[in-house]
Amino acid sequence: MMDSKLNLDKSKIKKARQLSKEIAGPVNEYISQHTTVAIERATLRLLGADGVSKDEVPVPNMVINSLGDKIQYGAAKYYINALIRKNVSPQELNELIADGLDISSIDFTDQKLIDQKAEELVEGAAKRIKENVAYRSGKIDQYKEKENSPLLYLIVATGNIFEDVKQAQAAAKQGADIIAVIRTTGQSLLDFVPYGATTEGFGGTYATQENFKIMRKALDEVGEETGKYIRLVNYCSGLCMPEIAAMGALERLDMMLNDSMYGVLFRDINMYRTFVDQKFSRMINAFADITINSGEDNYLTTSDAYEKAYTVTASQFINEQFAYDSGLPAKLMGLGHAFEINPQMENGFLYEMAQAQMAREIFPEAPLKYMPPTKYMTGDIFKGFIMNAMFNFIAKSTNQGILLLGMLTEAIHTPFMQDRFLAVENARYILNSTKDFSNDIEFKKDGIMQTRAQDVLDQTIEFLENINQQGLFDSIENKMFAEVSRPKHGGKGFDGVTEKAKDYFNPVYKYLENELGLK
């Protein structure tokens, strides 16, 4: 840990991490014993399953639907067996399945043949993903970007992937380092991934593998023109969390919104489903060198940012632990937080800076994701522009890693291109004029900021102790996070969770565990 400007007690930080490890333990035990329909579909996709039926049902969903209770043995075994028995390629088998072939009824061949074919298919997917990692690293080295921090993050959300391309390329030319394609409203609640290019999203654009491919190509083109590697973001959350991770790994996405609890708290997705899914999705992201972004900033949309700051820090610790348990290194943990204290609060700026500096000191290797003010944006564009400037100042002076730019029309409509231009100009001015501020500033001993951070850390430990005593599942049910209660067996997707059979077979999961040192 770096030297603490806030004079934080390192033993308390260590205690918070130990508590988080204890909290995650029982959850990980549950995870290890279960699989989900989304994990099985993601596995099939990485083995080559793709396409849709004439009724637009995705092939991975058709396989899972045909398996029923047999999913407990792992969908991969049935898919690979069908490849061998039919003596066809994955593409040919996908076409047969789309036409109605039920692979669950095919007699099994010798397990050794299935193992050999599995190794071949997994190595093929791994090779493609490793090539994506190498390409990304090569471009970042070529453009000498490693010292560029924070990275400027802008969104596009037209609903039409081809219109998104135009806006994304314009944003990159204006100065964005990261482009996030917002998903269409409600996609996180779909238990399937739509197929192909889409043009009719609402409030965002459908996340599909074809849309990923289209946007990746567009950002690579504008990257060559602007002389930097433009990072692409999507949303690895919801009922298809592992599938989105698989598609992102194959199409070279660079960042994924990938929180361990967001779907439970803010989308009412069953907690058992979410915790099982998040591990496999994060394993895929870790292998693909994809930076995850967690969603602690959302807590402050339902809770007061001053009174409940400790819940953000506690969730960061818990998200960190689950990420480690998935093989994800700290350098890929874009842990989230936000600038959301009521602007009418006296010394609110000091409290915001204390919170941001505390996150930086506790998680020194993490490329922290810092969210702009939204809750108290009123449509007064002049005040909003000042609030965003203050937010940008804290981001640079506390060395945040990923800066989601605030828009002066945040509370009115989806940002226009000129709004994004002004957001970039605001950030560029402040980042340049305060370039070395963090190295030149010290915090007053026992001053407002030191005292605030130390108090929040103490509250965080007390909160984690309460969670550890209750257990994480019960804590979520008892409304301890974001003032939202979710029942353990309620929410969406619980019927998609299955206990693994003793001879459960998943060659992708096994490969990733070995590669990531989890076994």
Local structure of 416: helix, strand or coil: coil
Is 380 catalytic? The answer is: no
Cα separation, 139 vs 230, whole angstroms = 10
Tokens found for residue 346: 């006296």
Catalytic residue among 259, 297, 325, 419: 297
End-to-end CA separation in angstroms for the chain? 28
- CA-nearest of 357, 356, 371 to 406 is 371
Neighbours of 14 (CB within 10 A): 11
Local structure of 513: helix, strand or coil: helix
- CA-nearest of 14, 25, 7, 31 to 317 is 14
Cα separation, 378 vs 390, whole angstroms = 16
- CA-nearest of 63, 86, 233, 216 to 139 is 216
Question: Of all residues in the chain, what percent are helix, strand and coil, respectively (each to 5)?
Answer: 55, 10, 35
The total number of residues shown for the chain amounts to 519
Neighbours of 256 (CB within 10 A): 29
**191 neighbors 493 (Cβ within 8 angstroms):** yes
Is 369 catalytic? The answer is: yes
Cα separation, 267 vs 275, whole angstroms = 14
- Cα-based torsion angle of the residue sequence 39, 45, 48, 53 in order, rounded to the nearest 10 degrees: 120
Catalytic residue among 279, 369, 375, 396: 369
Cα separation, 335 vs 352, whole angstroms = 16
Catalytic residue among 262, 272, 370, 504: 262
Tokens found for residue 490: 């309620």
- Give the largest CA-CA distance in the chain: 73
Local structure of 460: helix, strand or coil: helix
- CA-nearest of 249, 253, 275, 246 to 262 is 275
Locate all alpha helices (DSSP H) within 256-380, ordered by sequence.
262-267, 271-287, 299-302, 309-325, 348-362
- The residue type found at 371 is M
- The residue type found at 426 is N
Query: Which residues have a Cβ under 8 Å from the Cβ of 429 and sit 6 or more positions away?
Result: none
Is 351 catalytic? The answer is: no
C-alpha distances (whole Å) from 286 to each of 136, 198, 275, 324 are: 14, 28, 16, 10
- CA-nearest of 213, 220, 261 to 241 is 261
Cα separation, 71 vs 479, whole angstroms = 33
Catalytic residue positions, numbered: 262, 297, 369
